[in-house]
Amino acid sequence: MEIPVFTVDAFTNLPFKGNPAAVCLLLHELQDDMYQNIAAEMNLSETAFIIRLNSKDDFNSENVNSTVVFETLSGELYVRQQGESIVMDFPLNKPTPVGLNEFKDIVKAAVGDQPVQEVCLCAITKMLMVRLADSCDRSVLTSLQPDPAVLLRVDTGGRVRGLLVTSIGDPGCQPGYDFYSRNFFPWFGVPEDPVTGSAHTVLAGYWSEKLGKKKMLAYQCSSRGGELELELQDDGRLNIAGQAVTVLQGILTV
């Protein structure tokens, strides 16, 4: 079986930046273990599979349906193209403030002695969000070097599966980022994710309330870096938009 496969760098307009993901085009569904084997072979944080549901559909023809629906562990994800950007429709996950000492060990492992303004937890996604004090500029965030092994040793009672470290942006400087973040998922074998759409469902819920804004521009300060346009919808969902660049195209033979 031959499967067309693409590697796409998302949330960027430059090759080798943003979040690399594999996209596989399928004529029919596969066995569950085959999906896992292909994802492992691609060795990227994300691998998406697009399946032809109608035998008359042709991947080479213009798509008359502007929305593609992906089934994910977080529910259905709606994706559409808008100009030069890809827009993803996510659920909005607002975090809840917790005491600064409740997760002090993991906070210490993440940011060391840097001042912390607030700590929040999103119970749905099990993401712990640490907001650095506003006296910390972007260079403080980018200089952090949390040890994945240390994070894994911290006993959180299973309540934490992802760590988001964030700081306020500088809208007065071009391009005017509202906030910055770095996101760590050693619990899933990903020491640091380059750019994380799902994490911004939590970050957007938090910063929207703090900044009083429904539209925001965010930058994830990983070594690859990525830019996300965020817009909270009246139905309680979140649109995340970004550009993407195809850097590889080939055939996977299985």
CB atoms within 10 A of CB 43: 9
How many residues are listed for the chain in this entry?
254
Q: Could you give the CA distance from residue 113 to residue 57 in angstroms, rounded to a whole number? A: 56
Place of tokens 């409740």: 102
Sign of CA dihedral 96, 101, 103, 104: positive
H helix runs in 52-155, sequence order:
104-111, 138-143, 148-153
> What are the Cα distances from residue 187, in Å, to 9, 106, 160, 192, 193?
23, 13, 9, 11, 12
Please confirm, yes or no, whether 46 is among the known catalytic residues.
yes
Rg, C-alpha atoms of the chain: 19
> What are the Cα distances from residue 43, in Å, to 14, 22, 193?
21, 9, 13
Q: Could you give the CA distance from residue 51 to residue 29 in angstroms, rounded to a whole number? A: 7
Place of tokens 């770095």: 182
- Which residue of the set 46, 62, 84, 229 is catalytic? 46
- The set of residues, in sequence order, having a beta carbon less than 8 Å from that of 85 and lying 6+ positions away, is 229, 241, 242, 243
Residues recognised as catalytic: 46
